[in-house]
Amino acid sequence: MIYKTKGTCAKEIKLEVEHGVIRSVEFVLGCPGFTQALSRLLVGMQVEDAIARLKGIQCLDKGTSCPDQLALALSLCKESEETPS
């Protein structure tokens, strides 16, 4: 899945989720060190756990952040996995 972010330095997030587990996360732009670290920490984590930990994190006065946008993207992944084709 490719998620176009809103209100952050990163312009998009590429993710792969399989059976409710995060397999890969890649931020396009944003702070390289932070986004690489976040991506490495999340691989292997349950989607629900990542959403609970990341949702609502703010960056300065932006009203959102890269982690918050990732939580939104993961919520969409979760919904699409739960919706029968």
Q: Is the pTM of this model over 0.75?
A: yes
- Number of folded domains in the chain? 1
Residues 60, 40: contact at Cβ < 8 Å? no
Q: What pLDDT does residue 81 have?
A: 78
Express each pLDDT in 42-75 by its tens digit: 999 999 999 999 999 999 888 999 999 999 999 9
In terms of Cα–Cα distance, which of 25, 44, 47, 23 is closest to 34?
25
Express each pLDDT in 3-34 by its tens digit: 999 999 999 999 999 999 999 999 999 999 99
Find the domain containing 76 and state its range: 2-82
